[in-house]
C-alpha cells in the first residue's frame, strides 16, 4: 500500500506480570500501561480520568509502589509485579482496604475508587503518613469528584492502624 504517513514502529512483544499472572501482548510501543490494561487485557477496573497524570483514577501498584498507569508505557513495566484492583481480593475475600471502602461508604459513583484503593495501599507501604494532615496531603493525587474525602480518610486511618498492629 502506498503510504505517505510517517512509518510507525512495529508492534513488539511485551511480557507483563499482572496480578500474579504472566501476560504476553503484541503492543505498539506507544501504548500506555493504562490502555494496555483497559483495551488489550480487558482489565477495566483501572480507570481513565484524564490520561495526563492529573487525577489519579488510573493508579496501580508496581512492585508495591503506587503509580499513574497513564504516565508510563506498558513496555517499560516488564519484569515488574503489577497489581490492579482486580488482583486485590484473594479467593473471593476482599482486601481489607476494599472492605473498608464499603463499610465507610468511601465512594459514590465508584469511578475513582480503584485508584483510591491502590493509592491507600501504596500510601501504607510508603510509611510516610503520620498525621491526619499527612494523610490528606498524600491522598491528594487522587481526585474524587463525588467528594467522599472524609470517608476515604477514615479508610486510610484504619489501614495505617492495621499495618502498625501487624
Contact 166, 111 (CB under 8 A): no
Query: Which range in 61-69, 75-83, 135-143, 158-166 contacts another protein by CB under 8 A?
Result: 135-143
Does position 13 interact with another protein (CB under 8 A)? The reply is no
Rounded to 5 degrees, what are φ and ψ at 128?
-95, -25
Cβ-based neighbour number of residue 63 at 10 Å: 12
Query: Which range in 61-69, 74-82, 99-107, 157-165 contacts another protein by CB under 8 A?
Result: 99-107
DSSP assignment of 70-82: GGSBGGGGTTSEE
Residue number with CB closer to another protein (65 or 102): 102
Helix H or strand E encompassing 59: strand 59-62
Does position 137 interact with another protein (CB under 8 A)? The reply is yes
In whole angstroms, give the CA distance from residue 154 to residue 49: 24
Only one residue has cell 487485557, namely 41
Shortest distance, position 130 Cβ to another protein, whole Å? 15
Which stretches of the chain bind another protein, using CB under 8 A? 1-5, 8, 28, 30-31, 35, 38-39, 42-52, 54-55, 57, 84-86, 88-89, 94, 98-99, 101-103, 105, 107-114, 117, 133, 135-137, 139-153
Amino acid at each position: 500500500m502506498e503510504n505517505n504517513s510517517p512509518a510507525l514502529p512495529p508492534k513488539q512483544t511485551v511480557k507483563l506480570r499482572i496480578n500474579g499472572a504472566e501476560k504476553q501482548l503484541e503492543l505498539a510501543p506507544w501504548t500506555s500501561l493504562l490502555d494496555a490494561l483497559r483495551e488489550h487485557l480487558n482489565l477495566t477496573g483501572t480507570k481513565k480520568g484524564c490520561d495526563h497524570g492529573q487525577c489519579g483514577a488510573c493508579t496501580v501498584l508496581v512492585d508495591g509502589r503506587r503509580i499513574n498507569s497513564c504516565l508510563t508505557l506498558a513496555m517499560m513495566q516488564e519484569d515488574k509485579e503489577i497489581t490492579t484492583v482486580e488482583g486485590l481480593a484473594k479467593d473471593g475475600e476482599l482486601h481489607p482496604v476494599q472492605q473498608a471502602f464499603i463499610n465507610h461508604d468511601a465512594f459514590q459513583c465508584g469511578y475513582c475508587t480503584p485508584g483510591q484503593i491502590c493509592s491507600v495501599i501504596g500510601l501504607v507501604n510508603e510509611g510516610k503518613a503520620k498525621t491526619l494532615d499527612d494523610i490528606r496531603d498524600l491522598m491528594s493525587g487522587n481526585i474524587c469528584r463525588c467528594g467522599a474525602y472524609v470517608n476515604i480518610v477514615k479508610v486510610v486511618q484504619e489501614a495505617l492502624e492495621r499495618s502498625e498492629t501487624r
